[in-house]
Structure 1
Amino acid sequence: MDNKDETKSTMEIVNIPPIIATYRQALHTFDEKFKSDISSNLNKLKLMMDKLKADDLGFDQSLNDPKTWKKSNKAPCTYIEVFQNSLVNMSIFVLKPGFKMPLHDHPHMHGLLKVITGAVRIRSFTEYPLKEIVNSMDFASRAKHEAARIAQGIHKRRRLFAKVSQDSICHAYSETCILTPTISNYHEIEALNMPAAFFDILSPPYDTLIEEVGPRRCRYYYVTNEISTNVVELQETNVPECFYCDQAPYLGPLLV
């Protein structure tokens, strides 16, 4: 390679839009071929997401205008699909001022959440056995058993203990939040006094199959009992009627 070609190659690498680099890293991170390196790849993906800004995603700034959310028949949440295949779902959620996305779970999933406009309060929970110590494999086994039970139509609503793993305000300059199949797998997200938007990566996406179990379903909960300052009891419930979304197009760079 001569000097001109080398310079051109370097410029092409430097000029890759941040969201495209993030997209490529997400596909690599969650590829089964590289699952032995999930921890290091997840950290690389997080560091890339930490630097993302609203403009990198072509974010429509009209959704950041409080007047937009005062229009009649405007849903309290706008969903923007950035990319989805069987491996990952990449999306943007925009919440109206003061709206809380209800407490929900992410069965057998990893997730990364980066606020890109406004500010949100994120409250996350990790399933917490009060009488026994279990490792991550036990958690996974328990979750798989629960999913199988529901797939068979035996749907007694879940009731579980959970430990508060995060309760903080996140802004556009805050670090990316991470959830795993066992840690911070339940969370609720509340916009503060202005519209707020966050970019989200989930893997695998909802509705993809759990082997020998069935499709991943999102379930909703509420805190039914405060056990201590950081341990609560959660009760599964119906999808809250207040939670529904409209959709807007993704306006950022084409992901290739």
Structure 2
Amino acid sequence: MDNKHEAKSAMEIVNIPPIITTYRHALRTFDDNFKNDFTTNLNKLKSMMDKLKADHLGFDQSFNDPGTWNRPNKAPCTYIEVFQNSVVNMSIFVLKPGFKMPLHDHPYMHGLLKVISGAVRIRSFSEYPLKEVVSKVDFKVRAKHEAARLAQGLHKRRRLFAQISQNHICREDTDTCILTPTVSNYHEIEALSAPAAFFDILAPPYDTFVEGIGPRRCRYYYVVNEISTNVVELQETTVPECFYCDQAPYLGPTLA
């Protein structure tokens, strides 16, 4: 390859939009073919997301106008699907000023969340006592227990102890937040006095199949007891009526 072609090749690499390189690396991170490199790939994915900006995703700046949220029948949350397959879901959520996305879980999932506009308060919980690693044996035991519980017909809502693992304000210049199947797996997200938006990656996506249980469901909770300054008791509940979304199109670079 001559110098001219080498320069062109280097330029093409440099000019790949950040969201495309993030998307490609996300697919690699959560591909079972590369599971031996998972921790390294996850850390690299986090570093890539740390650098993402609203413009990289084609974010519609009209969402930053408070007037947008005063329109009749406007939902308090807008969902923008960036990409989804059976391995990962990539999306943007936009929250109206002061709106709180209710406390919910991410069953046996990894997640990364990066604020791209405004500011949010994130309060996350880990089930207590914390198990750092969920082994395959332990996972199968949990799966059988969950399947038996659901098979009883009348859904019995979960009640569990949880430890606060995060409770702070995240802005556009804040590093990406990470949740794992055991750490920070429950969280609530509240926009402050202005509209706020965040980009997130979940793997596997909701509704994908969990062996021994069925579709991966999102469940909602509230704090029923405060045990100590950082340990609470959570009670599963129905989807809060205040939480509903409309949708908007993704306007960023085509992912391929």
Same-fold call, TM > 0.5? Answer: yes
Aligned 8 A contact 2:125 2:184 in 1: yes
**Distance in 2 between the 1:76 and 1:150 partners?**
33
**Distance in 2 between the 1:27 and 1:61 partners?**
28
- After superposition, residues 61-210 of structure 1 pair within 5 angstroms as 61-129=61-129, 134-137=131-134, 140=139, 143-154=142-153, 155-210=155-210
Q: Which region of structure 1 is more displaced relative to structure 2, 80-89 or 35-44?
A: 35-44
Aligned AA for 1:237?
A: T
Give the Å deviation of 1:151: 4.3
Unaligned runs of 5+ in 1: none
Which residue of structure 2 aligns with residue 232 of structure 1? Answer: 232
Give the Å deviation of 1:140: 3.9
Aligned AA for 2:174?
A: S
Unaligned runs of 5+ in 2: none
Q: Secondary structure at the match of 1:137?
A: coil
Aligned AA for 1:77?
A: C
Q: Secondary structure at the match of 2:212?
A: coil
Q: Which runs of 4+ in 1 moved over 6 A?
A: none
Aligned 8 A contact 2:109 2:204 in 1: yes
Aligned 8 A contact 1:108 1:143 in 2: no
**Distance in 2 between the 1:141 and 1:221 partners?**
24
Please tell me the root mean square deviation across aligned C-alpha atoms, in Å: 1.4
**Distance in 2 between the 1:184 and 1:48 partners?**
21
Give the Å deviation of 1:83: 0.3
**Distance in 2 between the 1:171 and 1:135 partners?**
28
Give the Å deviation of 1:141: 5.0
Query: Kindly, what percent of the aligned residue pairs are identical?
Result: 74
Inter-CA distance 168–187: structure 2 relative to 1 (3 Å threshold): same
Aligned AA for 1:252?
A: G
Aligned 8 A contact 1:151 1:214 in 2: no
**Distance in 1 between the 2:22 and 2:171 partners?**
20
Give the Å deviation of 1:211: 1.7
